[in-house]
Structure 1
Amino acid sequence: RGRSFNFLAMAVLGISALRNANCDSSIETIVVPENGYISINPPLTRRRIGSHSTRTTHPNFLSRLESLLRDTGFHVKFVNPYQFKTKGEMLAECVDQDAIRKAVPLSVSCSHWHREHKQCGHCVPCLIRRASVFHAGFTQDAPYKTKRLRDLIKEKDTRDDLQAVQTAIIRLKQSDNYRSWLRSSGPIPQEKDIREKLESTIKRGLAEVELFLQADKSS
């Protein structure tokens, strides 16, 4: 998507300026701190295979962008240190737990936040976020427009993302074909160990959401 591409472009310009100011050609690393599940962003349903879901931190996209930039004279390397971590694992394993617990209620993940300046609570980014907060055991989070998801299934205008997640959970439980699901989001690295790590990451990421939905249903 354009916004994500603009963020990467600004980072490229910034590191180029830093390299020139220091006359140091070894300055090339741009850190892209995205959790592995959203980085891959596997399509929850068949109709989400295309542009419905953004994948601008997908390993294949970043690799191809590196090549494009190299051809135009920009020598950079994109590095995602959390490629094999779920969002919940990132929160739980953060070294400064006091800081992250204070930051979470002040942060925004929602894809519809700009409409009412309040996170909806039911879009895919919100579902991943809420599942990660639940996984980490945090008790404080930002307020959501939709608090109880179990009642959302009756709302035709807002239940699409929740149903898509539920459909993916059921489908993957029946087939257990996470490898095929991983590939459906785009080309992946050829190295076997990397493919297996990516597969494990999206499996754990979806499991976080499933556990959160189960807790919401029983609350």
Structure 2
Amino acid sequence: MFAAQLVNQKFYGRTFMRSILLFPYVGPVVALAYTWTLLLDPNSGTINSLLVNYGVIEKPINLLGQKYLIVNILGFELKLRLALTTVIFFEIWRYFPLAFLFILARLQAIPKDLYEAADVDGAGPFRKFFYITLPQITAILSILFMIRFIWNFNKFEDIFLLTGGASGTLTLPISVYQQGFAVSNIGMGSAVSIVIVLLLISFMIIYFKLIGKKANEI
């Protein structure tokens, strides 16, 4: 939302900036996942080398192969999900342009008269955002939530290319693949597939009963 607000303004190089922001989404997932794997490699990866050279960490960390990372903060030990968090950051980076495009398109469709009337009434930037912009894009945010939830629930290729489902990143679609093709357990793979379908149907019912209804009213 913040990026869409920025590039919705007029400035030099706006078209170039928009194309840069779209790159993670239009790039081939195999190439992007392979690049991330090389960058995060604990032995020869650029990220670990920089962190070690600048003294941020003492030794390289296997960001995609280590399940947990123990962090000591003020005497308290925190157990962080390392590989899963890294995969989540990859997903955020890769699919950020989709939400950015949806929101930007809706922002450009908002009538300028609303903002001009708000200027006449003396409304500031925050009041314009909360009383004009946010209500206008609520329906788009609702649709984005639905789309991204379904896609993330069915996510396979990104996680499979990054970790193969290891180190605490096993998802239901990867479990279906492993049961059906890796160990040839067709029955278990089919059962997990049915569970995925039932969960998604339940989500869609809840969405259209609650969130979708409110979005349509707006």
Same-fold status (TM-score > 0.5) = no
Could you state the TM-score of these two structures normalised by the residue count of structure 2? 0.25
Report the structure, 1 or 2, having the larger helix content.
2
Could you state the TM-score of these two structures normalised by the residue count of structure 1? 0.25
